[in-house]
Amino acid sequence: MKLVTCCSFKGGAGKTTALMGLCSSFADKKHKVALFEADENRPLTKWKENALRNGAWDPGCEVFVADQLPLLENAYAHAEGNGFHYALADTRGGLSELNDSIIASSDFILVPTMLTPLDFDEALATYRYVIELLLEEGLQIKTAILGQRVPTCRLTVSQQATQAMLALLPMFDTPMYERDAFAAMKERGMLHITAQNMSRTPAMRLMLHNTRRAMDELSIIGAFVEKALED
Show contacts of 135-138: CB within 8 Å, 24+ apart: 137/104
What average pLDDT does this structure show over 41-61?
A: 96
- Residue 226 and residue 231: Cα distance in Å, rounded? 9
Please tell me the predicted confidence (pLDDT) of residue 214.
95
Please tell me the predicted confidence (pLDDT) of residue 106.
97
What average pLDDT does this structure show over 36-63?
A: 95
12, pLDDT greater than 90:
no
3-state secondary structure of 120: helix
70, pLDDT greater than 80:
yes
Q: Which residues of 111-138 are buried (b: 16+ CB within 10 A; e: fewer)?
A: bbbbbeeebbebbbebbebbeeebeeee
Q: CA-based angle 17:19:22, to the nearest 5? A: 110
pLDDT band at 93 (very low <50, low <70, confident <90, very high): confident
| Cα-Cα-Cα-Cα dihedral sign, residues 3, 180, 177, 93 | negative
Please tell me the predicted confidence (pLDDT) of residue 41.
87
Output the average pLDDT for the chain: 93
Residue from 172, 136, 161 nearest 25 by CA? 172
5, pLDDT greater than 90:
yes
85, pLDDT greater than 90:
yes
Q: Which residue has the higher pLDDT, 10 or 151?
A: 151
Query: Amino acid identity, residue 58?
Result: D
53, pLDDT greater than 90:
yes
- Model pLDDT for residues 179-207, shown as the tens digit of each residue: 999 999 999 999 999 999 999 888 888 88
20, pLDDT greater than 80:
yes
Task: Determine which of 92-101, 128-137, 145-154 has the lowest per-residue pLDDT on average.
Answer: 92-101
- Residue 97 and residue 190: Cα distance in Å, rounded? 30
Please tell me the predicted confidence (pLDDT) of residue 190.
97
What average pLDDT does this structure show over 211-219?
A: 95
Task: Determine which of 114-118, 133-137, 174-178, 201-205 has the lowest per-residue pLDDT on average.
Answer: 201-205
100, pLDDT greater than 90:
yes
- Residue 162 and residue 113: Cα distance in Å, rounded? 10
Q: Which distant-in-sequence residues (6+ apart) come within 8 Å of 222 by Cβ?
A: 22, 25, 26, 28, 29
Q: Where are the domains of the chain?
A: 2-230
What average pLDDT does this structure show over 106-121?
A: 93
Please tell me the predicted confidence (pLDDT) of residue 92.
82
Q: Which distant-in-sequence residues (6+ apart) come within 8 Å of 63 by Cβ?
A: 35, 37, 44, 45, 47, 48
Runs of H (alpha helix) within 29-156: 43-53, 69-81, 97-105, 117-137
- Residue 72 and residue 55: Cα distance in Å, rounded? 28
Q: What percent of the chain has pLDDT over 90?
A: 81
pTM of the full predicted structure? 0.93
- Provide the CATH topology of domain 2-230: Rossmann fold (3.40.50)
